[in-house]
Chains A and B, each alone.
Chain A
Amino acid sequence: MAQLTCSKLTAGYEGKAVVKNISFAVNAGDYLCIVGENGSGKSTLMKTLLRLKSPMSGKIEAGDGLHLNEIGYLPQQTVIQKDFPASVREVVLSGCLNGCGLRPFYNRKEKKLAAENMEKLGITNLAKRCYRELSGGQQQRTLLARALCATRKILLLDEPTAGLDPVATAEMYDLIAELNKSGTSIIMISHDIANAVKYASHILHIGGQTMQFYGEVAKYEL
């Protein structure tokens, strides 16, 4: 069974559908890219997948040993984080929280995991720096390290390269591809179709309130 199966999903706000009739499945190791115009409902779909909002109709099922709290998420940047006094280490560690349950503090294993993920993303030297004072690329790496603390199974990324310069963008794509090679499934929103086609294994194209295309990248016509 697939890790995440989405069948005939309709999602929207306050009774008004934004996207209708979306069906797809993500297997372990897949790299699904969701593309579409601005405002076509990509973020809405992702939030529904994450159960931040309930679907208006249709079903989302987790399988293949995936638990619902084993999903890593990299949100589209929100304003509130802009002046937050938080060190990189604090942000990354907060990704471990889903393993804590009622335990109030992080244990040694979780601190080690956070350190490993910072190392992997090359931000160990930034650990004590203030999150809000980092460059866009460094901030995205921090959030990615946090997502990796939450899970190694599946990552949902909402426009991880938005606002990054070309070099940082390329680095970000390479990083994500590397994670994918090491076995993490990826669902990524992007409106950079060229790169989506280059890296992804599957494409989901949303437009006109519904699914324009879903399938392997080789069959996707630009």
Chain B
Amino acid sequence: MSFNERLDQLVYLFQNFAFARYALIVGVAIAFCSSLLGVTLVLKRLSFIGSGLSHVSFGSTTIVAAVAMGIGVENFQNNIFWVLPITILCSIWLLLSGPHSKIKGDSALAMLSVGTLAIGYLFMNIFPRSANLAADVCTVLFGSTAILTLGSKTWMVWLCVGLSVAVSVVFVLFYNKIFAITFDEDFAAATGIKAKVYNMILAVIIAVIIVLAMNLVGALLVSALVVFPALTAMRVFKSFRAVTICSVIVSVVCSTFGILLSAMYDNLPLGSVIVAVNIAVFAVFSIIGLVLRRG
């Protein structure tokens, strides 16, 4: 098929099928909010919290599904209602254990992420949900293989959009506080900012973002979706506000582009394409950053 034929096919797809439009809406919404906290996570040395938490959601997904089968619930689909609270709790535990605790952030993360990954895979093997175990695992790890799965459940579309909007609103309302506790938590606390409370809010937002982003790119690639746009923006921009705005734009553009590419070519898995586009843009921004610094 030529490029033009594929383009026509793409237009046809979006004109005639609601699921394709929904997939794009979900993708943009998730990309938008997942990039908001990238800077904060990079700077709190928590880049890998994405992986850690997504493994937690992976583990709890399989465990919840197994329990559901055990008590005879067929077609257990609404597991996001269980997975989200569990992930939020883990996120709070990780963030509040903070820089001064005995188990440092990164080793706590490593324990949690590898542990839940192992337990999750164990459960998947003991209580297989479907005949095709490998495909199941692959979907959880690498996200939706095609946009069909992303946009097919209407309630999931609206849940994703609703949560994205909620996360963005909370982020904007607490923007200055998040800046302060990220830049210098001790100063913030010393001048009477309730750093603990805001860290808690941060933890909840991060967990929601991770669970959302898992739907788009899967457990293994979540960190990339969260962190790449921020790192990209940091190559060129120097203020917190500019970096935040730029990473949101980068994230939305990359994800849109990735979704369209994946819809045009059947053999391009959604999650990996989005991350690949992010990597390409990161490279471009790195070069721009270098040139700007020289010139």
Instruction: State the A residues within 8 Å of B (CB).
Output: 47, 50-52, 68-69, 71-73, 75, 78, 80-81, 83-87, 89-91, 93-95, 97-98, 100, 104-106, 128-130, 133, 146-147, 150-151, 156
Kindly name the residue among A78, A94, A106 whose own CB sees the greatest number of chain B CB atoms within 10 A: A94
| Chain A residues near B174 (CB-CB < 8 A) | 104
Kindly name the residue among B39, B180, B190, B234 whose own CB sees the greatest number of chain A CB atoms within 10 A: B190
- Bound-state CA distance A86–B181 (Å) is 13
Contact B186 A47 (CB under 8 A): yes
Interface string of B166-209 (1 = CB under 8 A from A): 00000011111101101110111111110000000000000000
Contact B43 A98 (CB under 8 A): no
| Chain A residues near B183 (CB-CB < 8 A) | 81, 84, 86, 91, 94
Contact A80 B239 (CB under 8 A): no
B240 CB within 8 Å of chain A: yes
| Chain B residues near A50 (CB-CB < 8 A) | 186, 189-190
Contact B239 A97 (CB under 8 A): no
| Chain B residues near A83 (CB-CB < 8 A) | 43, 234
- Bound-state CA distance A47–B239 (Å) is 29
Contact A69 B191 (CB under 8 A): yes
- Bound-state CA distance A91–B238 (Å) is 12
| Nearest CB in chain B: distance from A38 CB, A | 19
27 contacts between A and B (CB under 8 A): A47-B186, A50-B186, A51-B190, A52-B189, A69-B191, A69-B192, A72-B191, A75-B184, A75-B187, A78-B186, A80-B45, A83-B234, A85-B234, A86-B239, A90-B240, A93-B176, A94-B176, A95-B191, A97-B176, A97-B177, A97-B191, A98-B193, A100-B176, A104-B174, A104-B175, A146-B187, A151-B191
Interface residue total, chain B, C-beta cutoff 8 A: 32
Partner of A85, one of B176, B188, B193, B243: B243
Interface string of B218-257 (1 = CB under 8 A from A): 0000000000000001100111111100000000000000
Contact B190 A90 (CB under 8 A): no
| Chain A residues near B44 (CB-CB < 8 A) | 80
- Bound-state CA distance A75–B183 (Å) is 12
Given contact pairs A94-B179, A97-B176, A97-B193, enumerate 6 new A-B contacts (beta carbons under 8 Å): A81-B184, A83-B43, A90-B239, A94-B183, A97-B191, A105-B175
